[in-house]
Structure 1
Amino acid sequence: MEDKALATNNGNSADIGFEQKIWSAADVLRGNMDAAEYKHVVLGLIFLKYISDKFEERYLELQADNDDVEDKDAYTEKNVFFVPPSARWNVIAEAAHKEEIGSVIDDAMRSIEKENKRLKDILPKTYSRGELDKRRLGNVVDIFSNIKMVDHATGKDILGRAYEYCLGKFAEQEGKRAGEFFTPACVVQTLVEVLKPFKGRIYDPCCGSGGMFVQSAMFVDHHAGNLKDISVFGQDSNPTTWKLALMNLAIHSIEADLGPFNADTFHNDLHPQLKADFIMANPPFNLSDWNDGSLNDDPRWKYGLPPSGNANFAWLQHMIHHLSPVGKIGLVLANGSLSSQSGGEGEIRRKIIEDD
């Protein structure tokens, strides 16, 4: 995969104070862990604090109305995850400086997954492992205990910004490898502004951490649209990245169909009948060995079989195959795709242009 340029500004510079505060607090945890491993620890903890705050907000509403505060349906009807008593933040905060803090967090994650089917097998449960410094973990829990993830004054979930900001910071640290899960916000925003996905089905066949969907939802919201007018579909082959996306979308209250599991888009298309109105993607550049010969007769290659050594035009044709008659595509491809003649790519490109 070619190195995709990573921006240092996630598009949140106007509110960078809060995001930086979250990042600085979480950075206490790092120790000797590398960024690829450390990000799941941090993002999972942020997610846990977020759903705890959202739960508490709904809990207090029910309490004020003298309703049953333990009625699970009263939370799910408001798109709030139900947090069982043993997993609530006060329990975690009380255990912050106990040796078993890691196990307490792991157990909380398991309990939340059990009560919320959308989160089954999604949340990280590795906080009790020996290499994670429990003293530092407890200090971060203390810091998070004093940060409200939901801005009650404006009604906006400020954690969504922090989550995206931290994804960007991890991308900076991981460098080239980060292209698998993160596309710079400036690139995503450009695609969204061009396509203007106000209404219809939105699809990303290599969705990474879900940035295209988040920016699409923000676009609709900023232009006084209705999020109920868009439907979100996607998939990703990397199991860890797929879980990141589900957490990211949950934080932003975006309901999406990312398939029941992670899967290779070429060999296991999880949305075979989908015809999308908007397709936005940043597929891995110049992916080799994507076709072992079993895909040679696939109906998606309307304009010609892409070379097995480079998947650029396989991605493009896959997207065209899933496009509705009035649909639009916005994607990022390697520069060489504009001029390459190898493996029949020039002929494929010519046919696509002539058919447009």
Structure 2
Amino acid sequence: MTHEEEQQFLNHLDKKLWVAADKLRSTLDAAQYKHTVLGLIFLKYVSDAFDIRHKELDTQFRDPDHEYYMDPEDFGGEGEEYEKDVAYELEVRDYYLETNTFWVPSVARWVFLQNQNKVVINGTIWITPEGDVLLEAPADEEQKRKCKRISSVGQLIDNALESIEVANPKLKGVLNKLYTRLQIDRAKLGELIDLIATIPFNHASLNSKDILGHVYEYMLGQFALAEGKKGGQFYTPKSIVSLIVQMLEPFKGRVYDPAMGSGGFFVQSEHFISAHQGRIEDVSIYGQEYNHTTWQLAAMNMAIRGIDFNFGKEPANTYTNDQHPDLRADFVMANPPFNMKEWDAGVATNDPRWQYGTPPSGNANFAWLQHMLYHLAPNGSLGLLLANGSMSSNTNNEGSIRRALIENDLVECMVALPGQLFTNTQIPACIWFLTRNKGKRTSAAGRKFRDRKGKVLFIDARNLGYMKDRVLRDFTQDDLNQVTEVFHNWQIGKGYEDEAGFCASVDLAAIEKHDYVLTPGRYVGAAAEEDDGEPFAEKMARLTSQLKTQFEESDRLEAEIKKNLTGLGYGI
């Protein structure tokens, strides 16, 4: 299947998803319907993935050439008893875990929800501890107490989510069991279940996890637009995340994001590792997030991908309740809120993280940067999205902190980004890449780094990208590869050359002459213009003459307009 056909499939999926969200838009605000829709999509995906493995196992149990073959002769011959034995084996959890398939209890499988949804819209059911459904309450009081009484679609969904948490302890307290409390018409919620049932998580050439990743990315982006600035706080454009991941290459070790949002950096790390034939098991994931619902989304995002993670005991403020105080990560990546104010309530001025200077109360940019450095291993590297002001500001100690970072040779690369990349802000942004070791060493990806001590690479990527719509810019994969290749070639010392207007390798002495300002445009210069063969003096004379003619024509047209207006009785 071609890339274009795959894209058509995903575009069709996008429309269907947004129709699903629209069904709730009139009764819920953006924040509520975001979690309502995403929670159901989560259930649909894990159920589909489970069903695929379920069918695969059923085939294997009946295949004489497979190691899991269940010979009917060993089970009394083909018939009802044999089918019961196969059905029993199909519910053995280990068969699913061995292929990293998420375990879904019977009451949380989509076919169960869809079937019982029709019943509870107009009635009540009782679910036994074994997952069987009774249409009437058990006569025995003890048995009745063991059953769950379900009298609404919301209860049915909440029960499914609760059963998943019980079966998957890593998700305890993570799933948003809010459907019973939502003021949604029963029929409308039932319609939503039927609509999401038509969302396919299987495709001829697309991996089901990639489809789900697209779903999450699309929905988070759409909700970010719908909610405005607040909604965009957890959403970083995929291309920017991919760029940082490509440049850092987190193949092995501990990966940390102290402002993780919905876990985009971890997801892209998994994609990158898989695309380069690495093993996700070689990476340990650590994250922290303050917003409770976003923390839940991140945990769901990891669970459905089978990625082991440590997001701390609870959602918490990174500055006042560090969930990983002893962590020293090999890779740190983040997109924290830009220019965050009043971030330091409850933070001591002598906090050990402020090794290079106390960040100002009015701006958390250098607090994020130093927090990440504090958690960086001796050979670790970090990539951090910050507002452009961080590269040049001298306000309230920011200049002295930046100078200390440069003088301690921690800054490896600065990338200036084009505007209009983010749904929630028009603030121009840049990426800081820092490392604790610029000496010769072999990276996690196997690259032989040269000695880069005393050098900083500047990349001006402001002219890259394209307008994906009227308001948002994005990078193509070629754009990402261009920036990444320059960075890696510079690191290994092969195939790199300064390019006017795009990239420059600069020593610390030159940065000192620029008062420790790190704006790439100061160092890469202007791109050379193509020589058209016309001498400069002659070109200036020609252009000046053209301008004079245009001014004269402008004056003539202005006089003509005034004359016409006077004739109409509107003299000016």
Map of 1:269 onto structure 2: 322
Matched, 1:19 2:40: no
Q: Is the 8 A contact 1:280 1:329 kept in 2?
A: yes
**Cα separation, 1, equivalents of 2:184 and 2:276:** 44
Amino acid at match of 2:17: I
* Aligned-residue offset at 1:217: 1.3
Residue 213 of structure 1: how far off its partner (Å): 0.9
Sort the Cα spacing of 1:130 and 1:298 in 2 relative to 1 into closer, same or farther, 3 A.
closer
Match of 1:352 in 2: 405
1:72 to 93, 98, 104: 93
Of 65-74 and 317-326, deviating more is 65-74
Match of 2:32 in 1: 37
Written as runs of structure 1 = structure 2, the 5 A alignment for 1:1-356 is 15-64=10-59, 65=61, 66=70, 68-97=89-118, 98-99=120-121, 100-151=152-203, 155-157=207-209, 158-292=211-345, 294-356=347-409
SS across alignment from 1:324? strand
Q: Which amino acid aligns with 1:138?
A: G
Question: Any idea what SS the aligned residue of 1:296 has?
Answer: coil
CA distance in 2, matches of 1:108, 1:152: 29
The two structures, once aligned, show a CA RMSD in angstroms of 2.0
- Counterparts of 1:113 and 1:32 in 2: how far apart (Å)? 28
Q: Distance in 1 between matches of 2:101 and 2:247?
A: 32
Matches of 1:181 and 1:13 in 2, distance apart? 25
- What is the Cα deviation at residue 50 of structure 1? 0.9
Write the distance in 2 (CA, Å) between the matches of 1:260 and 1:69.
34
User: Structure 1 stretch 69-78 or stretch 198-207: which is displaced more?
Assistant: 69-78
SS of the residue aligned with 1:29? helix
CA contact (8 A) 1:203 1:278 kept: yes
- Structure 1: distance between partners of 2:181 and 2:14: 27
**Amino acid paired to 2:106:** P
8 A contact 1:50–1:150 mirrored in 2 = no
Is contact 1:289–1:310 with CA below 8 Å preserved after alignment? yes
**Paired amino acid for 1:204:** D
- Asked if 1 retains the 8 angstrom alpha-carbon contact of 2:250 and 2:269, the reply is yes
Larger Rg: 2
Q: Distance in 2 between matches of 1:287 and 1:135?
A: 43
Structure 1 pair 287–153 and aligned structure 2 pair: CA distance change class (3 A): closer
2:16/2:199 contact within 8 Å kept: no
Judged with a 3 Å threshold, the aligned counterparts in structure 2 of structure 1 residues 185 and 130 are, in CA distance, closer, same or farther, namely closer
Letter in 2 for 1:106: D
SS state of the match for residue 200, structure 2? coil
- Aligned partners of 1:152, 1:104: CA distance in 2, in Å? 32
Tell me how far apart the structure 2 counterparts of residues 296 and 21 of structure 1 sit (CA, whole Å).
51
Displacement after TM superposition at 1:329 (Å)? 1.4
Once the 2 structures are TM-superposed, how far is the Cα of residue 135 of structure 1 from its aligned partner? 1.7
Match of 1:28, SS state, is helix
Name the aligned partner's letter for residue 315 of structure 2.
N
Query: 2:15 and 2:218 mapped to 1: Cα distance?
Result: 8
Change (3 A) 1:299 1:24: same
What displacement does 1:45 show? Answer: 0.3
> How far apart are 1:262 and its partner, in Å?
0.9
Percent pairwise identity: 50
Letter in 1 for 2:55: L
Rounded to whole Å, the distance in 2 between the matches of 1:55 and 1:107 is 18
Residue 8 of structure 1 corresponds to none
What residue ranges of structure 1 are gaps of 5+ in the alignment? 1-11
Q: Are the counterparts in 2 of residues 50 and 149 from structure 1 also a CA contact under 8 Å? A: yes
CA drift of 1:130 comes to 4.9
2:21–2:33 CA contact under 8 A, matched in 1: no
The one-letter code matched in structure 1 to 2:196 is: F
User: Which stretch of structure 1 is more off in the superposition, 43-52 or 182-191?
Assistant: 182-191
Q: Compute the displacement of 1:293 (Å).
A: 5.2
User: Which range is displaced more, 173-182 or 36-45?
Assistant: 173-182
Is the contact made by 2:174 and 2:296 (CA closer than 8 Å) also made in structure 1? yes
> Quick one: distance in 2 between partners of 1:296 and 1:309?
14
Rounded to whole Å, the distance in 1 between the matches of 2:214 and 2:308 is 18
Q: Retained in 1: the 8 A contact 2:342–2:362?
A: yes
Give the distance between the partners of 1:293 and 1:258, measured in 2 at CA.
Answer: 22
Listed as ranges, the gaps of 5+ residues in structure 2 are 1-5, 62-69, 71-85, 122-151, 410-572
Q: Which moved more, 1:319-328 or 1:44-53?
A: 319-328
Cα-to-partner distance string for 1:168-207 (whole Å, 9 max, x where unaligned) = 1111111211232111112212212222222222111000
How far apart, in 2, do the equivalents of 1:340 and 1:135 lie?
56
Give the superposition deviation at 1:49: 0.7
Match of 1:96, SS state, is helix
> Which residue identity lines up with residue 16 of structure 2 in the other structure?
K
Greater RCO structure (CA 8 Å; 6+ sep): 1
TM-score (norm 2): 0.57
